[in-house]
Amino acid sequence: MPVRKTKRGAERTRLDADADVLVCGASFAGLAVARELAGSGARVLIVDRYEIGERQTSACAAPTQWLTALGLDTSIRQTFDTLTIHTPHTTARMRLPWTFSTFDYRELCGLLFEQCDATFETATVEGRASQKGDLTIATDRGELRAPHVVDALGWRRVLSAAGYQPPDAPLSRGLEVHPGGSSDQLEIWIDRAYVPAGYGWSFPAGEEVRVGVGSFDPRFHVKEPTVRLANELDRDAIRYQGNWIPHRIRDATEDGVFYVGDSAGHCLPLTAEGIRTALYFGIACGRELTAAWRGEIAPEEALRRYHEFSAAHERKFRWLLRAQRAVPRINPRVLAMALDAMESRRFVRWSFNHYLDIAPPSFAAGARAPRSEPALAA
């Protein structure tokens, strides 16, 4: 687990700076935006309350093709070609048409930052100094100004006038522990004995196994079932980390600000997969910002195009949300029969490839395309 090393006390000096692009948030989405801006000539400033790679908030797994396309291979800790799904009445083993890899959070974030030519500072973003067209951002170290601002700070959507407040919000909640150990199985539990609506997981990552429980109902507390699942797997319930997870897509722009990742609800319902989508929409945002900075399009056009790009995915997110709401209502025996039927190679290939195509790795592979191409080339 990352060790906290954020500046404190006398080290937290006043920060008063201007930038061409201000990226608030230094995790997957924010770093993807800044990475895409590398070489554009824009002065990019990234700010986050934590050091880069300091605070892991997920099980840290993604389709291997995405990690490879972004040059992040060395952060990979373990790769899987089979997903095992447990229910009270069956265990289904699905041979995937593509592999899934767990990775080291600090190393991956560091690799992404190395591909940027941005400046980084630790600062807690408190909000906009004004909600009326003024892109001046208030932080605990002073005010920051930029003509282009990105909110990649997570589900709180800090720079918006209308934030979320759990549990009265479309948020799931997840908690996991990080015991040492090893396994060769990527496992999911759909079992109401652990959580009425949601799932448990065991994601091995080299010398540790990440075990957790996520609930689609934010009012259901997940610590006890997480500890219970870990104990049943003979794992120690140690090194906790958790987070709220948005499960509804939101407008990707508002009052001149770009929203990326969890701040725009770019986390897939049902699976709660948010890393791949954070990278995907971060690249898209970075491409539009690059085009705007180079004068290829007006800033207003960049905002419009990015908003439309994100909104074009709403139907797929909505279908996954419907599935998220439907699965807990299915009789467990019927669910078991359905999973047994879904083990067929043909169905797995069809369904998982469609799922991957929501945010395809080919989009990441094109991230370094010549800038003369359209900003959001297909």
SS3 245: strand
CA distance 122 to 24: 10
Nearest to 271 by CA among 195, 199, 181, 347: 199
Q: Which residues, including other chains, have CB under 8 Å from residue 35's CB and lie 6 or more apart?
A: 70, 112, 115, 116, 282, 283, 286, 367
Q: How many CB atoms lie within 10 A of CB 239?
A: 14
Instruction: Please provide residue 253's backbone torsions phi and psi, each rounded to the nearest 5 degrees.
Output: -140, 150
How many Cβ atoms are within 10 Å of 36's Cβ, its own excluded?
24
Q: Which amino acid is at 29?
A: A
pLDDT at 132: 58
Q: Are 240 and 218 in contact (CB under 8 A)?
A: no
Element containing residue 69 per DSSP (H, E):
helix 64-69
Lookup: tokens for 111:
């690799």
**Around 67, how many Cα atoms within 13 Å sit in the side-chain half-sphere?**
25
d(CA 86, CA 93): 9
Q: Give, to the nearest 10 degrees, the angle between helix 275-293 and helix 299-311.
A: 160
Q: Enumerate long-range contacts of 83-87, CB under 8 Å, 24 or more apart.
A: 83/186, 83/187, 83/188, 84/185, 84/186, 84/187, 84/188, 85/187, 85/188, 85/189, 85/190, 85/339, 86/187, 86/188, 86/189, 86/190, 86/191, 87/189, 87/190, 87/191, 87/332, 87/335, 87/336, 87/339
169 close to 156: Cβ distance less than 8 angstroms:
no
Query: Comparing C-alpha atoms, which of 177, 180, 182, 205 is closest to residue 77?
Result: 205
**Cα atoms found within 13 Å of the Cα of residue 184, Cβ hemisphere only:** 0
Name the nearest CA neighbour of 293 among 117, 45, 120, 43.
43
Return d(Cα 114, Cα 168) in angstroms, integer. 39
**Is 253:307 a contact under the CB 8 Å cutoff?**
yes
User: What's residue 165's pLDDT?
Assistant: 81
pLDDT of the chain along its 378 residues, tens only? 333 344 555 566 788 778 999 999 999 999 999 999 999 999 999 999 999 999 887 889 999 999 999 999 999 999 999 999 999 999 999 999 999 999 999 999 999 999 999 999 999 999 998 755 568 999 999 999 999 999 999 999 999 988 778 888 899 999 999 999 999 999 999 999 999 999 999 999 999 999 999 999 999 999 999 999 999 999 999 999 999 999 999 999 999 999 999 999 999 999 999 999 999 999 999 999 999 999 999 999 999 999 999 999 999 999 999 999 999 999 999 999 999 999 999 999 999 999 999 999 999 876 443 333 334 433
Residue 366 has what pLDDT? 66
Q: Are 253 and 306 in contact (CB under 8 A)?
A: yes
Residue-wise DSSP of 35-68: HHHTTS---EEEEESS-TT----S--EEEHHHHH
